[in-house]
Amino acid sequence: MKYPLTLLDPLDIDPRNSEFAGPYEIGYEHLSKLFPGLDSQFVSLEVGPMIENGGISYTELAILAALTRWLQPKQVLEIGTFHGWTSHNLALQLSDDAELVTINLPDGRTPRLDSGGWNARYFPVDKTPLFFEGRPTANRIKQIKEDTANLSAKDFQNKFDLIFIDGSHSFAYVENDTKLALSVANEQAIILWHDYGKPAHWAGVIEYLHRSSREGHLYPLYWLHHYMGPQTSLILYIRGLRADL
């Protein structure tokens, strides 16, 4: 797997970041510094005229896919499959010997931890049709149907190079899923969270990531959101580089 060589110092991104513990807003220029050549990385996506509500945006999907192609991870983990748009499009970027594991709550099951409000809209009632079913990417995708609160590192055979956290967005689950992700991530790994910056619906993501960033557990966190660049709800963490910034 390819891996970034350096972190970006929050003060080099903008000196006014001295007032804030993160996540720090970064644009395309910063992404290219972290992942040299990402801007000339072309990816093919398989998307329809619209992505269903609750999924990822086209910009987010393109960036995630480009990152996947750049990294060439052997093991990818996604928390929150939904209809599998992201699973399918990330699996499209993988080599034949790589695997994407995606976790979702079983049909008809409600989560064990606190996960109310807008989250309840995405609890699967009946069997959810999966976009990758019957397509070649299905050979590279393995779905685990389980509440993430019931999973631990013992349930996984491999460690992961790239992890995308997009399950329940309550504080309890973002905390649970982040700890699970860190327990199964390789020493050098990339972790991303979806749906940051939407306080009316997904305050749990903001609260957990602010706390972790402030306390230095996850530092530095970068928000792929910039007035001169991508307007996404993706947060990026590069595990394994020295964070003595």
Binding site for ligand SAM (CB under 6 A): 54-56, 78, 80-82, 85-86, 103-105, 111, 115, 122-124, 147-149, 166-168, 173
Least separation, in Å, of the C-beta of 156 and ligand SAM? 14
Taking each helix axis from N to C end, the angle separating 199-215 and 171-184, rounded to the nearest 10 degrees, works out to 50
122 CB neighbour count, 10 Å cutoff: 18
**What is the closest distance, in whole angstroms, from the C-beta atom of residue 245 to ligand SAM in the complex?**
30
Residue nearest to ligand SAM (CB): 80
Q: Which is nearer to ligand SAM, 10 or 80 (CB)?
A: 80
Least distance in angstroms from the C-beta of 154 to ligand SAM: 17
Half-sphere exposure of 4 (CA within 13 A, CB side): 23
Q: Which is nearer to ligand SAM, 23 or 80 (CB)?
A: 80
Radius of gyration of the chain, Cα coordinates, nearest whole angstrom: 17
In the complex, what is the shortest distance from the CB of residue 166 to ligand SAM, in angstroms, rounded to a whole number? 4
Q: Whose Cβ is closer to ligand SAM: residue 24's or residue 122's?
A: 122
Q: What would the two tokens of residue 24 be? A: 């720090």
- Give whichever of 201 and 217 is closer to ligand SAM, judged by the CB atom: 201
From the CB of residue 61, how many other CB atoms can be counted at a distance below 10 Å? 20
| Shortest Å distance, C-beta 72 to ligand SAM | 21
Show Cβ contacts of residue 237 under 8 Å, excluding neighbours closer than 6 positions.
Answer: 190, 191, 192, 218, 221, 222
